[in-house]
DNA sequence: GTTGAGCGTT
């Protein structure tokens, strides 16, 4: 029974939040609790779920009472295989209120003022945090794109957010560009045909329609160019034409393989 | 039966 998240966060004043990524969609808080609780006092375990479907988003938040225990859990559970998925445990960078947290602990006004009073933080902090925060907001929308909200994404593309596009890290564009370009190209092709593909647009959203390994789905192509004729299952072809063209695979029955199979040979 | 980059709720 999930006694967590019953009435929101219990008390995050002195807790250290851990972000657990890459968990299975079936993994629940009850599954994670015993795993993390063995390394320390777990105050709360929360798994964000989709508003509509209610399924988990693939990550969870585990709040520890002490930082050392949280750190130990990270060291012990990070990379652990849970429910068939390799989970990633790390300190949360942002709190529930979208506030930046340090070392998994929510920054409090009192603490901040105290730090400033005692000593000006020698650590200037990386600017990446700011960028990450923006990236986080956009990424959240991305999670919904698989649910059928691609319309919104297309709309944004048309809008073209000025220099913000290139302002984003190149790696982001590169990563997204590859897939996006592929999808866009596919869509353009469909549009060119102007066939009744409008309804299949939803289905066209498949991330990878065909695995690179299974690219041999086209019989016209040559899936096994270096395949030995003997292994091909047509030994007669070898005796028949020693200079058989490489495109033999394309024609399964171009000519009667040998004069013996002329007519009724009794197909297997 | 279901995808898989990523930071959160009553």
With distances taken from each CA to the C1' atom of nucleotide B9, the closest residue turns out to be A8
pLDDT tens digits for range A202-255: 444 433 433 344 443 444 444 434 444 444 444 444 444 444 444 333 334 444
**How many CB atoms sit inside 10 A of residue A101's CB?**
19
Sign of CA dihedral A27, A30, A35, A41: positive
Positions of chain B reached by protein Cβ under 7 A: 3-10
Q: Which residues pair with residue A16 across a beta bridge?
A: A64, A105
Q: Which nucleotide is nearest to A15 (CA to C1')?
A: B8
pLDDT at A82: 92
Q: Which residues contact A90 (CB under 8 A, 6 or more apart)?
A: A18, A19, A21, A74, A78
Burial A44-68 (b: 16+ CB within 10 A, else e): bbbbeeeeeeeebbbbbbbbbbebe
Q: Which nucleotide is nearest to A55 (CA to C1')?
A: B2
119-148 on A, CB < 7 Å from strand B: 132, 135-136, 139-140, 142-143, 146
- Residue A64 · residue A71 · CB < 8 Å: no
pTM of the model: 0.48
Pairing of strands A81-82, A85-86: antiparallel
Mean pLDDT for all residues in chain A: 60
Q: Measured from the CB, is A9 under 7 Å from any atom of strand B?
A: yes
- Among A24-38, A90-104, A148-162, A219-233, the range with the most confident prediction by mean pLDDT is A24-38
With distances taken from each CA to the C1' atom of nucleotide B7, the closest residue turns out to be A94
- The position carrying tokens 């990633």 is A88
């Amino acid at each position: 029974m999930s006694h967590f998240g019953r009435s929101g966060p219990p008390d995050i004043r002195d807790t250290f939040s851990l972000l657990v990524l890459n968990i299975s969609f079936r993994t629940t808080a009850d599954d994670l609790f015993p795993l993390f609780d063995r390394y320390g006092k777990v105050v709360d375990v929360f798994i964000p779920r989709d508003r509509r479907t209610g399924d988990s988003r693939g990550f969870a938040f585990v709040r520890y009472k002490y930082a050392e225990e949280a750190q130990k859990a990270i060291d012990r559970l990070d990379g652990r295989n849970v429910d068939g998925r390799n989970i990633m445990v790390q300190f949360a960078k942002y709190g529930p209120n979208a506030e930046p947290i340090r070392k998994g602990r929510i920054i409090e006004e009192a603490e901040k003022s105290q730090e400033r009073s005692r000593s000006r933080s020698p650590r200037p902090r990386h600017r990446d945090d700011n960028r990450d925060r923006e990236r986080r907001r956009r990424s959240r929308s991305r999670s919904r794109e698989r649910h059928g909200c691609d319309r919104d994404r297309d709309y944004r593309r048309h809008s073209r957010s000025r220099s913000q596009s290139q302002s984003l890290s190149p790696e982001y564009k590169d990563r997204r560009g590859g897939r996006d370009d592929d999808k866009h190209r596919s869509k353009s092709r469909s549009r060119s045909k102007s066939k009744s593909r409008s309804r299949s647009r939803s289905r066209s959203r498949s991330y990878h329609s065909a695995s690179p390994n299974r690219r041999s789905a086209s019989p016209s192509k040559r899936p096994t160019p270096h395949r030995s004729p003997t292994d091909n299952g047509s030994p007669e072809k070898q005796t028949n034409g020693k200079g058989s063209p490489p495109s033999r695979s394309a024609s399964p029955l171009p000519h009667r393989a040998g004069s013996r199979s002329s007519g009724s040979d009794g197909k297997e």
